Amino acid sequence: MASFASPVVILGARSDIGRAIAKRYAEAGCSLVLAAREADRLERDRADLETRYQVPVRTAEFDLHVTNPDTFFRDLGEAPGTLVMVAGLLGEQARAEADDAEATLVMNANYAAPARFLLAGARLMQPHSNGCIIGISSVAGDRGRASNFVYGSAKAGFTAFLSGLRARLFRNEIHVVTVKPGFVATRMTAGMALPPLITAMPDEVAKAVIAAHSKRRNEIYVRAVWRPIMALIRALPEAIFKRLTI
């Protein structure tokens, strides 16, 4: 089994994907910090992971929109060995188009705030080698589509940020992984008609994250089918693309 730098700090650990990722790293023998809003609600997860996998697990209060990044990492008391950003917000395209506050919230939750936390974490990680930063981005960031361009534009920014951070930290021997899950069957997507062929489960995302970390992959699509799909979407001429309703 691969050895990963600990502690593994998971930002957004109450999400379905965050919980699945925590379980996979615990299985690998890593100590964990589960960070989320209302962190006391993670007590059952913390106790279960500690008991089941015999690894140290603690929780930390974390809110993308309220918590100060530098204060958060200072209060942890140690530098992350592995830092995973899962937090984000799908939002509603129609509301975001109509309401500046909603658009700002979606943009901040999927780009500006996650980037600030990863920057703060990276500052602490730089003196140490063999660390890893993992960002959950989205296929929606590969090209702005009419159906979700507010969310997609934020994820595009986050993907570009991760690419630049990867190049910047390469010399510090800290690897950065960009994960593009596509559709995932979670509480956030409950009620949506998701195509089974291109819809992953949270544990599928978690296994892909662990594999990408182990193999030091730079950027992954959780389901390989997304790679040709997004290549086609990116290749469409603008004259045709702007007439589509995707």
> Is the Cα torsion angle 177, 22, 14, 130 positive or negative in sign?
negative
Catalytic residue among 25, 53, 111, 151: 151
**CA–CA separation, 34 and 101 (whole Å):** 29
Tokens 């296994």: give the residue: 207
> Within 13 Å and on the Cβ side, how many CA atoms surround 228?
3
> Quick count: other Cβ atoms within 10 Å of Cβ 20?
20
What amino acid occupies position 110? Answer: N
Burial of 27 (0-12, 13-18, 19+ CB in 10 A): middle
151: annotated active-site residue: yes
Residues catalogued as catalytic: 151
